[in-house]
Structure 1
Amino acid sequence: MKRELIVAIDIGTTSTKTLAYDQEGRIYAEVEKEYPLYSPEADRKEQDPDEIYEAVIYTLTEVSRTVKQKGREIAAVSFSAAMHSLLAVDEDGRLLTNALTWADQRSVKEAEELKAGRGHEIYLRTGTPVHPMSPLTKLIWMKRHEPELFAKTSKWISLKEYVFYKLFNRFVVDHSIASATGLFNLKELTWDQEALETAGVSAEQLSEPVPTTEIIRGLSSEHAEALGLDSETPFVIGASDGVLANIGVGAITPGSIACTVGTSGAIRTVVSEPAVDPKGRTFCYALTEDQWVIGGPINNGGISFRWVRDQLFPDLQEKAAANGESAYDELTRRASSVSAGSGGLLFLPYLTGERAPFWDADTKGVFFGLTLDHGRDHMIRSVLEGVMFQMYSVALALTEAGVEPVEYRAGGGFARSELWRQIMTDMFETDMIIPESHQGSCLGAAWLAMKSLNWIDDLSSIQNILQTTVKHTPIAENVHTYRLLKPIYLRLARKLPDEFSAISDVQRELMDNHK
């Protein structure tokens, strides 16, 4: 029987999703397994690597079983994973720590110290902005605060590397995940010596960097039997979820911009060689050996809307449940009753600090412009608009860095919201293309595997199978309103860092006093 399906595994922050695709992008199986994010202290966001590994095994096993039941076979398995995770193992590969995730903020001070020193020079070579998300700053924190653990660590790796080690007993890392560590030289495609010295680790303590299309074979008979796979099934190491999402929405040609909002958000585009921003506002991560993704992530996307639902309007959840609908539907309906601009109420959505384009972990959420005329519905809409103001600020940084947008493609959970899509369309003053793709990072991983197997010549071939529709065009009146508000929003964001730092110090002191 022909082996005709690609299985793509996306190791995310809150769950692992595994899907089986054919060459037309059709889905034959889909399984998701959730797991907790641990926060032993307010600034710590960790995952249990074994829980992630078990989720990978469970979802892959279930998808493999479903594929066989449908009379199909698996040609390859490919991977997507969240960036910036870091964990320690000893010389026998045993865990010494949980995984510190991208959302972990414990290295705020280390990041600020590095910024004041040689951080920018390291960024210019590695493409990873200096920020607590970066494994580079996490390593500096570990060296300073956990010296005994630091000394006995044999390898520092990411979650995907841990999964591959468990499956194949090898420490390998794809160029994409490596390029998001702050330790990887983009031009030389190897570990950066100055970054290593700054972190206090050696190249031998990190995994072997390989291309994103690297194929690894040789599952043990035990693993092969448990997973329902042939032991020589090719495993494509794959890339990070961010760069693969660009493939998944078809934004892989010059000037095509991917706009994604899930829990967080990002603006990204593909370029033909590594490119960094002299002002340090954007990232540059590897996709393939001759394609790179530049852009910027925001911390607060859908999580801001969830905060509105859970913290500001819990009563609406009860009302929506009584009507048999989602609380988000009720919130969106209320936001839709308010005109663009929310009556001049601005929201800076910095509830969990912020990354691009300011890279300041101390930023805080702000409602600005409140008057007696504003009600709850204005606040709901201003939160949705605030996320898009921040996305716009990242897009602005990209254009100032030389990117000439040709089209914008929207994906992620927000793309299911007609109102939110229209807000972005009006804010960006351009048509918004909405690809009807499912799980963009998974589809991107599958398509990367097809290139690795020589099933396709070029990643851009995915555009042939994506169903896309220009669903939104700008509304002139709304465009005018946002033109009035955008410069105010940007000035606010630039003027408040000193106050953000001051209130963060107070919050940390109050938190310490109540421990």
Structure 2
Amino acid sequence: MDYLIGVDVGTTSTKAVLYSQNAQVIKQFSQGYSLYRNASGMAEQDPGAMVEAVEKVIHDAGQEIDFNTGKLLAVSFSSANQSLILLDKKFRPQTRVITWADTRARQAADRLKRSELGKQMYANTGTPIHPMSPLTKLLWLKETAPEKLAQAAYIADIKSYLFYCFFKTFKVDISIASCTGMMNINTGDWDSQALEITGIKKQQLPEIVNGTTQAIGLTDEACEKMGIPQDTPFVYGAFDGALSNLGVGAIKQDTVAITIGTSAGVRVVTDHPVIDPQERLFCYAVDNGLWVVGGPLNNGGDVYQWAVEHLVTPSAVKNEGTDPFTLANEVIAGEPAGANGLIFLPFLGGERAPLWDANARGSFFGLNNLHTRADMLRAVMEGINMNIATVFSAVCDLVGQPTSVTATGGFARSEVWRQMLADVLNCPVNIPESFESGCLGAVTMAMKSLGMVGSLTAVEDLIGKEMSYKPQPDAVATYQKFLPLFQQVEGLLTPAYSTIAKLQQEK
């Protein structure tokens, strides 16, 4: 048997999945690392820890391979997008990895967003003006740490840094480049206007390559740590959202992919760029002739985790002899749709789509003295799903109503959450058997790179069984009453977000 490894470099951990040559899962591996946060909006990672995590999961996967009878055909990568690392002349990190979740560039982003230049930059790059993007992070560094930025010889993201560590080549795949706010979606090259306003030279940035591009010739050090053959091809792949679409077969315009992990995303693949006149959605390149349109949401499973930690008591968990999340799901399943008239806006971490407001904050609306913890738990899950439904509606406005929705992520392990998503969207939701769609998407790109398949559509033959959830009419009727109110309250509170965020930062 021959093998493939799909690697997904995430915000708090790196996963690897070992596949057979037919893309059947053999074993999964994971290695965590810290996300450093503080009240200023900082959200950073240690690049050294991330390199070690990638090396470890590849090593662990390689230990399962008998190289006497089989071959490791390729290792292919999915990674979180919109990261930024400043490097010196020897490609040594001068900063930690500044992640998509870092909001310290919010003032620079606000100024750019309000200007005509900001509208033009969005149209040129397909990247909404927001603190998440490396474009606004570079503007922030230019204002707040000009000496540090001036001393940087190279500007990297986590994937181009990893590949440099392993191969001493400085390249990045087109999908990661497209997410930076620095690449022109019409030319496929670094945008001259983005370079001008940030003061960055083109030669400081990695060379943009297709996702199927291979790197071969591991350094001796990387080869030793990974324990795999030195000539193993490493395929650049794409960013995690695009590969999640690919990994669930959602690569046609009639299928929307939704991912709910720590954060969330709603995406559809098209054969041409689509720019939203209201600037609600992104448009990123995936591969030659493929684009992904959609919206990323800051608030997904992390908000639910917050709610479970604060609303499920240890004594109740002990009495029921279960874990907090299982108990919370059981409680939610026993509550009526609409949480007895309680609405939750889930903006605990600011918000990207649909608000693009790093100052957004969470709130309960309609709370009265009859509401219980159970109502609050239900409202939290509903609020996350209604926020997703708002972005889903924007996607439908631009590309048309889909015939199906495919959803993946950690939420998919919860029966009540699966059904609720179908009810809130009023659309059938399919859940693939394999939750690690990003790794499967990465491996599909490797198979195309190796000539094992002729097109990325071959992934449709690799996906396992799916579970389907149809909307329940009674619940749909309830949510169709509450969703407009959710959006109305969201609009009413938006003007107050900057004030409360400022007061919180003064503490």
Alignment TM-score > 0.5, same fold: yes
Deviation string 1:329-382 (CA, Å, 9 cap, x unpaired) is 111111111100111111010000001012111111010011122111000000
> Secondary structure at 1:284's aligned position in 2?
strand
Structure 2 CA distance, aligned partners of 1:214 and 1:414? Answer: 33
> Secondary structure at 1:363's aligned position in 2?
coil
Residue among 348, 364, 368 paired with 1:367:
364
Distance 1:70 1:9, change over 3 A: farther
Distance 1:70 1:28, change over 3 A: farther
Matched, 1:340 2:337: yes
**Cα distance, 1:471 vs structure 2:** 2.8
- What are the residue-to-residue correspondences of 1:30-429 with 2, within 5 Å? 30-68=28-66, 71-117=69-115, 118-313=117-312, 315-316=313-314, 318-321=315-318, 323-429=320-426
Matched, 1:18 2:16: yes
Give the structure 1 partner of residue 430 of structure 2. 433
**Cα distance, 1:71 vs structure 2:** 4.6
Structure 2 CA distance, aligned partners of 1:78 and 1:237? Answer: 6
Residue among 436, 455, 458 paired with 2:455:
458
> Secondary structure at 2:36's aligned position in 1?
coil
Tell me the amino acid that sits aligned with residue 495 of structure 2. D
Q: Is the 8 A contact 2:412 2:435 kept in 1?
A: no
Structure 1 CA distance, aligned partners of 2:201 and 2:56? Answer: 34
**Cα distance, 1:222 vs structure 2:** 4.0
Q: Is the 8 A contact 2:337 2:475 kept in 1?
A: yes
Deviates more, 1:63-72 or 1:27-36: 63-72
> Secondary structure at 2:66's aligned position in 1?
helix
Tell me the amino acid that sits aligned with residue 74 of structure 1. L
Structure 2 CA distance, aligned partners of 1:425 and 1:95? Answer: 44
Q: Is the 8 A contact 2:7 2:15 kept in 1?
A: yes
> Secondary structure at 1:66's aligned position in 2?
coil
Tell me the amino acid that sits aligned with residue 114 of structure 2. A
Distance 1:321 1:459, change over 3 A: farther
Deviation string 1:72-103 (CA, Å, 9 cap, x unpaired) is 32001101100111010100111100010111
**Cα distance, 1:217 vs structure 2:** 1.0
**Cα distance, 1:324 vs structure 2:** 4.2
Structure 2 CA distance, aligned partners of 1:321 and 1:153? Answer: 53
**Cα distance, 1:199 vs structure 2:** 1.6
Structure 1 CA distance, aligned partners of 2:111 and 2:302? Answer: 29
Structure 2 CA distance, aligned partners of 1:40 and 1:334? Answer: 33
Q: Is the 8 A contact 1:349 1:365 kept in 2?
A: yes
Q: Is the 8 A contact 1:29 1:67 kept in 2?
A: no
- What are the residue-to-residue correspondences of 1:465-504 with 2, within 5 Å? 465-504=462-501
Q: Is the 8 A contact 2:175 2:284 kept in 1?
A: yes
**Cα distance, 1:121 vs structure 2:** 0.8
Structure 1 CA distance, aligned partners of 2:308 and 2:427? Answer: 29
**Cα distance, 1:241 vs structure 2:** 0.5
Structure 2 CA distance, aligned partners of 1:325 and 1:42? Answer: 37
Structure 2 CA distance, aligned partners of 1:152 and 1:355? Answer: 31
**Cα distance, 1:288 vs structure 2:** 0.9
Tell me the amino acid that sits aligned with residue 174 of structure 2. H
Tell me the amino acid that sits aligned with residue 425 of structure 2. F
Structure 1 CA distance, aligned partners of 2:374 and 2:57? Answer: 40
Deviation string 1:376-395 (CA, Å, 9 cap, x unpaired) is 10000000000110000001
> Secondary structure at 1:492's aligned position in 2?
helix
Structure 1 CA distance, aligned partners of 2:383 and 2:84? Answer: 31
Structure 2 CA distance, aligned partners of 1:290 and 1:497? Answer: 37
Deviation string 1:262-292 (CA, Å, 9 cap, x unpaired) is 0111111110012111111111112111111
> Secondary structure at 1:343's aligned position in 2?
coil
Q: Which runs of 5+ in 1 are unaligned?
A: none
**Cα distance, 1:123 vs structure 2:** 0.8
Tell me the amino acid that sits aligned with residue 466 of structure 1. I
Displacement over 6 Å in runs of 4+: none
Q: Is the 8 A contact 2:109 2:136 kept in 1?
A: yes
> Secondary structure at 1:277's aligned position in 2?
coil
Structure 1 CA distance, aligned partners of 2:219 and 2:301? Answer: 40
Q: Is the 8 A contact 2:410 2:435 kept in 1?
A: no
> Secondary structure at 1:33's aligned position in 2?
strand
Distance 1:205 1:295, change over 3 A: same
**Cα distance, 1:470 vs structure 2:** 4.4
Q: Is the 8 A contact 1:431 1:470 kept in 2?
A: no
**Cα distance, 1:40 vs structure 2:** 4.6
Tell me the amino acid that sits aligned with residue 140 of structure 1. L
**Cα distance, 1:438 vs structure 2:** 3.3
Structure 2 CA distance, aligned partners of 1:167 and 1:341? Answer: 51
Deviation string 1:94-150 (CA, Å, 9 cap, x unpaired) is 110001011101111011001012112101111111111111111011111111111
Q: Which runs of 5+ in 2 are unaligned?
A: none
Distance 1:323 1:485, change over 3 A: closer
Q: Is the 8 A contact 1:28 1:67 kept in 2?
A: no
